[in-house]
Chain A
C-alpha cells in the first residue's frame, strides 16, 4: 500500500491543547464556587485535558492511527467530616453543576470520619522550580509512520528468525491539569510524554517466542533511536528461542532492571498510607526497622527535572520534596497523603497519588560484573502473573530468563516460578547494578538476590 502524506495528516495540530489554561482554571473556580454554594465546608477540584496521537505499523503497513483527546473534571466535597467525590468527562455547564450536585448529595449520606478533611495549608506548594516536563513533539502521522516503519524494519533486519511482528508504535501525548481548592490553592502545569515501542515474534523448531523493546521520555530528544529499539526487540525475542524448564532448586536470582523495579514496587505499596492504616502490609509499623541490607539507600525524588514521575505538588496541592525512604537499610518514612497522615498521627509527605521517582542508589558493579558475582544462578528477564501477597509478603511468580554458569549465560529458561517472602528477599539482596533503568516511576539497576526457590520439573 502506498499512503500519501496528505491523507495521513488531517489539518489538526497534534499537540494543540483545545482548552486554554485560563479556561481550565476558570472551570476549576466555577466548580469550587458551585460546591461552596451548595454548602460544602471544603472542596478540591481537578480539571485535566490531554491530546495525543498513537500510530502503529505492522509488517510495514499502518495498522492503527488513533487521535486521542481526553478531558475530565473531578471534585471532592467535604461537609464537615463527611465527604463525597464525583467526576465527569462532559464539559457542559449542566454537567459541571450535576457533578457538583452528585458529590454534595453523596457527602450527605457518607458518615463522618474524624480524619477526613482538607490538607494542612502550611504544607501546600508555593512557588516551585520548573521541572522541565513540557516538551511538545511536532510529530504528525506521516513522521510517526516513518519512525514506526524504521523501528520495525530494523527488527526484521536484525535476525532471520524474526518471522512475524505485533507491530511498532509511536505515541505522543500532551496534558494540562489544574488543581484548585477552597483554601485558595490554584495551580497547574503542562507535561508531555512520548514513546516508541516494537514487539516481534521469532520461530524455530521448538515454537514461537515474542518479546519487545520500548523507549519513553518527556522530551523526544531523549528517546532511543529507532534502529536501537528494533534491534533490541529482535535480540530480546530471538534469545528466548529454545527455552527449557529447570529442575526445582534453590539458587541465586539476578533481576534485570525492568524486573528489579517490580520488587521495589512491592516495597512502595507496602509503605503507603492505606497499606499501613489498614494493617494490610508486610512492612507494618516498620519505620526505624532494618528492611534492606545496611548498605542500601532508597530515595523518593519527585523534583528531578524531566523525569517521568516528577511533580511539583501532589494530588492535594501539598508540596513534594526529595527525601530518603531507606537510609543504611532502615525504613525512614511512609508515603502519606493528608488522610493517612492524620490516621497515623503524622504529617503528609506529599504522596497523594503515590510515590514519585523512587530511586535505588546504584552499587559499583555493571551488569556483566553482577553476572560474574552471581557465578551460577537464574537471570530473570520476565515475570508474569500477580503472585505477591501484600499482607504477608509471600511471593510466587511465573518467570522466564536464562540459566547462568561461571558468570556466563548458558541457555534460555521458561515455564518456571520463583518464590520466597519479600521481607526475606529484601534482606538477601547482595548487590544493585549501575545499569539503572529510568523509564518509569521506579529507578533501579539490576538486583541480585542471594537465594530463592525455583520451581520447575
Chain B
C-alpha cells in the first residue's frame, strides 16, 4: 500500500502504476547489479523576507524529478530527469545502467515497505500552517521586537522559509518506501551601531513541523532579542587572543565542534576508501573517558531527523564514540555492503539530481556530571566561546576549524570581557582526548544547521553540553 500523498504527487500524474514500476525495475536493475534506486522527489519551498521594516520580497519554487542510480561493486551509474514520464524514466534507466553488465534483466516485483515505527513529524505541508498575512505579521513581530530591544539597532533582516518534500524510493530489490517531510526555519540578523562601530548578531530556529512553532512561547520575538544581545556584546568586544589556551565551549550549537572534528571523519565512504584520519581505528580510544557521542536521526521534529533516509532505510541512533572509544561509522547502503556491515540509515542526498552519500543527521555528545559554573570557575586563563558560525574539516589530515561569533576572556575563573570572533583550529583525532570536564547541561541546537559535502547541502542538527578543552589554538590577533 503506497502512501496516498506520495502516489498522488509522484506517480499518478505520470500514470505510473504497478505495471510501469515493474517495467522500470526490470529495465534498471537485475543481473550484474548490486544495488541502486529510483528516487522520485517533489519539493516546493517558499521564502519570505523582511528588510527595512517591510516584507518586500518572497519566492516560491517547485522541483520535481527522478534520479536513477545503478550500483555495481564500487561503481555507480547515474542519470536524472525533471520529467516524471515513462519514456524519460526508461531513457534515464538505460543510461544509468550503462555502468553495469548488459545482461538479461530479471523480473523484480514491487513491494511497499510499511513504516517500522511512528512518524517523527506530521506529513502536512508547512506552508499551509499559516495564511500569508500571518507569515508577514510574524516577520513584522520579529522586526518590532528587535528594534524595541535597543535603540542602537540600525538594521533588521529576517526571513521565514518552509519546505514541503515528498519522496518515494524504489530500490533494486523492488522495495518501495515513501516519506513526507516538512521543514521550516526563521532567521534573523541585526546590525547595531555605536559611534562608528557596527556589529552584527544572528539567531533563529526551526525544525520539521509547521510555522505555528514560532508563535508558541514567544519564540519569534525571543530570536530577535537574542540576535540583538549578540550584536550588543560584540560592540564591546576587544581583540581576541592568539595562541593555544584552555577553551570552554557553551552548550548546544557549539556542538558544531563534534560535527567537524569527528563527524565527517566517521562517514563510511571516507573510511572504506581509507582517506579519513579515523580509518581503521574502530576500538581505539579517540576521546577522553566518559565521552559518548551519537548520531541520531530519530529525534522527533528535529531539523536533522528523518523517518527514513534517502535510500528508504529507517534512521536510527548510532553510537559513534562510547566512553571515549571509537565504536562505529555512519553508513549508506553501498559503503555498508562494501565493508560488510549494515546501513545505519545515513544515506542522504540534496535532491533527485544528486547521488546519496553517508551524511550526518543530529550529532551530539551526551551530558556529563559537571556544573557549567564549576567548569568556568576551574579555568585560570582561557576563552569561553558560546556562539559559532560555521566550520570546516580536512578529513585526511584531521585538521578542523570552527569560527566563534560570541566569545569571552576567562581569567581566574571569571568571565571578564567579550572578545571578537576568532577561528579555533584543532586536530580531530586528538581534540576530544583533551576534554577534561563535561557539563550536565546537554542541549541541542535551535535548528539552523546545513551541512555541505561535495557540493550537496542537507539539514543537520548538533548538540553538546558545556565542555572544557585543555589546549586549542585560538586565532585572534593579540599575543596571549
Contact = CB atoms under 8 A, between A and B. Distances in A.
Interface string B389-405: 11111111111111100
A70 B51 CA distance: 32
B157 A166 contact: no
A385 B391 contact: yes
Contacts of B198: 279-280, 284, 391-392
Nearest to B269: A166
A67 B425 contact: no
B274 interface: yes
Contact of A164 (B193, B273, B398): B273
Contacts of B133: 109
B76 A63 contact: yes
Given A164-B273, A387-B423, A456-B473, A400 B399 contact: yes
A89 B62 contact: yes
Given A102-B60, A201-B396, A164 B275 contact: yes
Nearest to B77: A65
Nearest to B425: A398
A83 interface: yes
A280 B403 contact: no
Contact of B76 (A64, A87, A89): A64
Contacts of B474: 417, 455
B459 interface: no
Contacts of A210: 275, 394-397
Contacts of B389: 386-387
Nearest to B88: A69
Interface stretch (A6-14, A151-159, A260-268): A6-14
Contacts of B79: 66-67, 69
Contacts of B396: 201, 208-210
A62 B75 contact: yes
B156 to A, nearest CB: 10
Contacts of A396: 240, 403, 421-423, 475-477
A385 B402 contact: yes
Contacts of A358: none
Contacts of A87: 59-62
A116 interface: yes
Contacts of A456: 243-244, 473
Contacts of A418: 475
A232 B400 CA distance: 24
Given A99-B62, A453-B476, A166 B401 contact: no
Interface string A48-92: 000000000010011111111111000000000001111111110
A398 B63 CA distance: 37
Closest 10 CB pairs of A and B: A417-B475, A385-B401, A398-B401, A210-B396, A455-B242, A85-B59, A102-B60, A387-B423, A113-B56, A67-B79
27 contacts: A84-B59, A110-B55, A112-B54, A141-B98, A201-B275, A210-B275, A245-B473, A248-B242, A248-B244, A279-B191, A279-B193, A384-B400, A385-B391, A387-B423, A392-B420, A394-B421, A396-B475, A398-B401, A398-B425, A414-B399, A415-B473, A417-B401, A419-B475, A421-B477, A453-B476, A456-B244, A457-B244
Interface of B: 51-52, 54-65, 73-83, 91-92, 94-96, 98-102, 132-133, 136, 154-155, 157, 191, 193, 197-200, 240, 242-244, 273-275, 277, 353, 355, 389-403, 420-423, 425-427, 473-480
Given A67-B79, A396-B475, 4 more contacts: A8-B98, A70-B82, A83-B56, A453-B478
Interface of A: 1, 7-10, 12, 58, 61-71, 83-91, 95, 98-99, 102-103, 106, 109-113, 116, 141, 164, 166, 201, 207-210, 240, 243, 245, 248, 278-280, 284, 382, 384-387, 389, 391-392, 394, 396-398, 400, 414-421, 453-457
